[in-house]
Amino acid sequence: MQMCLLRAVGWSSAAVLGVLAVAIFLLVLHPAKDAALFTRSKYGLVFDAGSTHTALYIYRWPADKENGTGIVSQVEACTVSGPGISSYADNPAGAGASLKPCLDKAMKIIPAEQQRETPTYLGATAGMRLLREQNSTKAEQVFAEVAKAISKYPVDFRGAQILTGNEEGSFGWITVNYLLETLVKYSFAEKWEHPRDTEVLGALDLGGASTQITFQPGVPIEDKNTSVFFRLYGTNYLLYTHSYLCYGQTQALKRLLAALHQDSPSHQQILHPCYPKGYQENVSMADLYNSPCVHAPSTPKPAQVLTVMGTGDPTVCTTSIQKLFNFSCGANRTCGFDGVYQPPVRGQFFAFSGLYHNLHFLNLTGGQSLSLVNVTIRQFCTSSWEKVQKEFPTMNRTHLRDACAGSFYTLTLLLQGYKFNHTTWLNIHFVRQVANIDVGWTLGYMLNLTNMIPSETPQMVIELQRSNWIAATVLLAIMLILIFCLLTVICCQKNSGYESL
């Protein structure tokens, strides 16, 4: 019997060592693989409610973060049909209803089990800023209907808000530098790192109602109202940023038309030097002066209809656009325009949104010299309406009408407004996308918000490893008892057989 027990102990010890070896292999060599099963992606939704249209951007990032900021990528972009939400001032319910098709699309992309924890935001820009100035009650009604529509979906809706001009500019700057990997980069050591000796880029944005400039200046910022501080990926950034309300393209060109009307000898006919020769349309006084950006004449006649005729005169067009700005800065002060402080532009810049579209249609976004850009635009602006329609048959009628004015407005804003020159012009890179991701403020907004989203993975890995070891210990104890008992029974049965012989 004693020999039987010794054999059982030996066999059971061998078996236990084998099981332990397998357990150690699974727990030590494969913990990362097990943890990866629990490392899921997170999603976020951001509505860009601009002055002329709204778009929904769907973002995704890993649950673990890099230096406090998630590595975010764009999954999808959905353009909302119709105008911007500020256009629904007299039909607030329409603003909410317009968002539903894009929300339906997002629900098909985000896994059902993660939808309720998906943070969802709506950021409105200059269009809603103007509506709030015009009629705060109507602005609140639009927001209420938008919130009501989004809240019907199984997402973590965190509110709709109007971004300040500085927020819009600085979030656009974050987007640009994130996409260019000047904030964080995946290194050869297979980890995310802040790149050394890398200059950040400035951001130039032109929307329908406002325009923004943001960059890291080479001198101290004198006006605290134009500075913003960010901490991203463990690094601090102090930026200059300013947003000019009413200097977005739609509002600026409306101001131009109103100025031409008020300077016109005939109060019923407007000769427009930026419209192609031969172009003609009728505009009501009510539509012309329906914006707080446009100063109405002392005795407006809303019912009056004006006839606008294009003259295609690039010289007069440029002069008329320049009159929209005040370029004087005053003594001992550097400024952009309208007396707003701005340090000298420095480094490389990305120009996007309207700045890109205004030059892209003439293939002028490929780094051409300023002289060539000027010549090309002037040639286009002398073309007749009949000729430009033949050259650009698929272009929207309104966009084609405004192409000359938009191009000259871009040059005036960048050169005389923001003080670029023939040399620094070559530092401006006109882009729409980088790595198939749209350039705008929404990605920067999402990146900044990830600082407030807790990281799950480290805790989940600890809990996973702890539970694995507990389960393995219990399992091994049970197996040890069972194997010992089994081998003891077998040994004793054989020993009884030998004794019977």
Which residues does the annotation mark as catalytic? 168
The vertex-112 CA angle with 108 and 118, nearest 5°, equals: 90
Cα radius of gyration rounded to whole Å, the chain: 33
Task: Give yes or no for a contact between 250 and 286, defined as CB atoms under 8 angstroms apart.
Answer: no
Q: Which two tokens stand for residue 9?
A: 């102990």
**Tokens, residue 342:** 């701005």
Cβ neighbors of 313 (< 8 A, separation 6 or more) are: 273, 381
Q: What angle do CA 318, 210, 212 make, to 5 degrees?
A: 95
Phi, psi of 202, deg, nearest 5:
-85, 165
* Half-sphere exposure for 68 (CA within 13 Å, toward CB): 12
The Cα–Cα gap between 71 and 60 comes to: 8
- Taking phi over 0 as left and psi of -120 to 50 as alpha, with beta for the rest, 319 belongs to alpha
Cα distances (angstroms) measured from residue 340 to each of 208, 336, 343: 20, 6, 10
* Kind of pairing between the strands at 202-206 and 73-79: unpaired
Tell me the Ramachandran region of residue 258: left when phi exceeds 0, alpha when psi lies from -120 to 50, beta otherwise: alpha
Taking the C-alpha atoms of residue 85 and residue 131, their distance in angstroms, rounded to an integer, is 10
CB 60 within 8 A of CB 88: no
Residue type, 415: L
